Structure 1
Amino acid sequence: MQLVALTIIPESPRWLVSKNRQGEALAMLTRYHANGDMHDKLVQDEYDQICASIHAEADQKSASRWSAFFKSKGDMHRFTICILLGFMQEWTGNGVTSYYLPPILASVGITNATHQAAVNISLQFWNLIFAVTGASTSDKYGRRVLWLCATTLMLIFLTTSTVMAGLFAEMNILEAGIAVVPMLFLFCAAYDFAYMPLFIAYPAEILPFQLRAKGLAVTLTTDSLACFFNQYVNPVAFSVLRWRYFSIYVGCLVIVLGLVYFFFPETQGRSLEEVARIFECPKVKDHEALMSDSDGSKQSSFVIKYEG
């Protein structure tokens, strides 16, 4: 299915410009951003921005080297986010709830194999629904809003699950054990809504063209390392600590919430060139990225400074 879909996916206009195929890049922008109107002002502005940034980066031979991540505070900020995303994807509690659902259910009194399978299958459909919903609405609510809301809800639901699991384990309160199941579903819904669609989309939006592949490689590598840890540590830790192990991920969520609040800027509705301005000029406010033109409408305004 992926191979078939790839045949109809257009090339990135930035890649086309980097390969001196400007006509194809302009045609792509015209088709998808202006319904075929090549003289549309938005298309012309986007095209000029892309050409300017790609050519400026091409003039620097070191623009695509790994060392470019450490040339400025903005690039180091991007690099840090790429690393954080990899660990956030696996160390926010989803690793336990996804891979070790049967022992979790058994720990709260749901031991029947049929009941466990029903919960597991239902959870997969649940995840699909909310992942698609999150991907469909990310442009409406903004990336930063999704990150913050999802992480906050995950913290609430996982904390509640921990308390309920503890009440069942220590006080044999059956209702508390049953309550863990809907809390896990709500936790997964919050995770799916932001972490699933933004895991790849967000680093792609914050990285300049020349560093995008390397930045995504950093994110995927850290994700693999975090997943490796989960595969070998989680089963041992969960078998010893049982419900108490959830509290470790509650602590991780608190840390992640703080990191997202202080280090993750909003990228909604901005081109890569405008996002670059945010990272290079972190004190710039959102409204400063908009200037009124002569006819009273608003257009994007940005300044990119490249230093050798």
Structure 2
Amino acid sequence: MLSAAEKLMQTTVRLECLLQNGKTSTGTGFFFSFEVDENASIPLIVTNKHVINGSTRGTFVLTKRDDAGEPVVGSYEHIQLDNFESLWLKHPDPNVDLAVFPMAPLLNGAEQAGKKFFFLPLGETLIPTSEVLSGLGGIEDITMIGYPNGIWDIRNNMPIVRRGITATNPKHDYNGLPIFVIDCACFPGSSGSPVLIFNQGGYMDANGNLNLGGTRVILLGVLFAGPQHVAEGEVQTIDVPLQQLSISLSKIPNNLGFVVKAQKLHDFRAQLLARA
């Protein structure tokens, strides 16, 4: 039986894209689902628009599951799809760097071929309501799961977990946009990583009350960008880069990341239901 932490490590997927210019890039996606009713859901992969923009072919890796419904760690399959960018539904707001990939056709095809894959989607119930946000302190420990610099446990198809804190209050819109800032090491390939509050055994609420026992999981948002400064000292805000480029200009991460708020995922529900 998987622990809470082990379950979270089964929520992400490494994305590899072949771009129109012939270069290859990597990014992070995570599994998510909208519940339609008690018997139906819409399974998705969530990432950033800029991760899949300009991609002609995409590849991701899914872990196989056994007849008991458990993951077969180390046994997985590469899924390769052409016209990759066209398979994603992009958020209509240009200020919201989110895109979703409906998984139902892929899963139905796999089932018909006798293949079973294991993944654990994050759900709508993990997106904080205004009431949940009001109960958070200004500074919270955060967990980010993904594939920085494309690094992963290739033998077991496992991601890399990083820890940090909220650098701005997630209750507020940073600079008037539906984003907040985290203090966490954010490197190429981390784009699309889920940013969560993950507490085991206890946590302190905004009023200083200690809550003991149980596990708290809150999906705060999705990493999409971060400020960097160049060697000359100029500060620039850029999309978390997808590629390792041979350039003479040194860009140094500030160990800060910009995160689009998870509430913006709600905006996809109506679009997906209309397509169903």
**TM-score normalised to structure 2 length:** 0.23
Which structure has the greater CA radius of gyration? Answer: 1
More helix by share: 1
More strand by share: 2
